[in-house]
Amino acid sequence: MRSHQSPFTLTLSKGVPLLIFICTFLYGLFPNPASAEEQIPTIVVLVAYHSLSGYTEKMAREVAVGAKSVSGTRVVLKRVGDVTAPELFLSDAVIVGSPVYWANMAAEVKAFFDNWQFKFGVFPEFKMRNKVGAAFTTGGQVAGGKELTMLTILAAMLGNQMIVVSGGGAFGASATTEGDSPGLDEKELGEARALGQRVAEVAKIVKHGSAQ
C-alpha cells in the first residue's frame, strides 16, 4: 500500500537540514560568551632571563609552565637583552632570572634594569608601578649568594614601586647546579613552576580583584 504524507510533513522534513544549517551559522556569529572569555588572555606575564650554561634558561621555561597553568595567562619568555619596551610595559607581571656571579646578578641582568630608565624611560612616571615582580636564580654552590642575587633583583623592582612576591622559596625559586648530582632536580624545577603559578595568581588578583 502506498503511504501518503501531508504537505506539512514534506515541508518539515525538507526544511530540517536548512534549519540546522541556519542555527549552526548563527551560533558561529554569536559564540558562547563564556567560551570567548576563556580564550582571551586576562594577564600577561613576562619571564626574562640571562643564561650561559643553560641552567637558568631551563628554570625560566619551568617558571613559564607554572604561569601558564593559571587560566587566562599569556606568557612572554625572552632573554633580557631581547625584551622590548612594549613587552615590558604591557606586562602585568615580570619575573626575572639570573645566574649568580660573585654573589650578585649577572651584568646582563643589571643592564636590563638600567635600560628600564636609560632605554625605556620608566621614570619619572613610574611606569612599572603596581606590576607584580619576582625573581629566580641558579648558582654553583649551596651558599654561593643565590638569596643575595634574588634580593638585588627584588630591590630593583621595589625601587620602581612594583609589588614583589616570593614563591618556591623564601625569596623566589633557586637551584644549585654543581655537587654530587650536577644539574637541576625535580624539586628545584617544581619550585620554579610554583613561582610562576603564584605570580600569575597574584597578578590576576591585583588586576581583577580575584584569581578566578
List the pLDDT tens digit at each of the 212 positions of the chain: 455 555 544 444 555 555 555 555 555 555 454 444 445 669 999 999 999 999 999 999 999 999 999 999 999 999 999 999 999 999 999 999 999 999 999 999 999 999 999 999 999 999 999 999 999 999 988 778 999 999 999 999 999 999 999 999 999 999 998 865 567 899 999 999 999 999 999 999 999 987 66
Residue 81: inside a domain? yes
Strands 173-176, 132-139: parallel, antiparallel or unpaired by DSSP?
A: parallel
Residue 30: inside a domain? no
Q: Take residue 191 and report the three cell numbers written for it.
A: 619550585
Helix axes 107-118, 146-159, angle to 10 degrees: 0
Q: What pTM value is reported for the model?
A: 0.80
User: Which residues sit opposite 99 in a β-bridge?
Assistant: 138
Contact criterion met (CB below 8 Å) for 49 and 98: yes
- CATH number of the domain that residue 118 is part of: 3.40.50.360
Task: Say which residues have a Cβ less than 8 Å from residue 131's Cβ, sequence separation at least 6.
Answer: 91, 92, 93, 94, 162, 163, 203
Contact criterion met (CB below 8 Å) for 139 and 99: yes
Residue 129: inside a domain? yes
Structural domains of the chain, count: 1
Question: Is the N-terminal amide bond of 33 cis, ω within 30° of 0?
Answer: no
Which pLDDT belongs to residue 19? 52
Which pLDDT belongs to residue 209? 86
Which pLDDT belongs to residue 37? 44
Nearest to 57 by CA among 79, 83, 74, 81: 79
Residue 21: inside a domain? no
Task: Say which residues have a Cβ less than 8 Å from residue 23's Cβ, sequence separation at least 6.
Answer: none
> What CA–CA distance (Å, rounded) separates 160 from 117?
10
The domain containing residue 173 runs over which residues?
40-208
Q: How many CB atoms lie within 10 A of CB 148?
A: 17
Residue 31: inside a domain? no
Which pLDDT belongs to residue 186? 93
Which pLDDT belongs to residue 179? 64
Residue 22: inside a domain? no
Which pLDDT belongs to residue 135? 98
Residue 97: inside a domain? yes
Residue 119: inside a domain? yes
Which pLDDT belongs to residue 160? 96
Which pLDDT belongs to residue 144? 82
Contact criterion met (CB below 8 Å) for 93 and 131: yes
Q: How many CA atoms lie within 13 A of 82 on its CB side?
A: 10
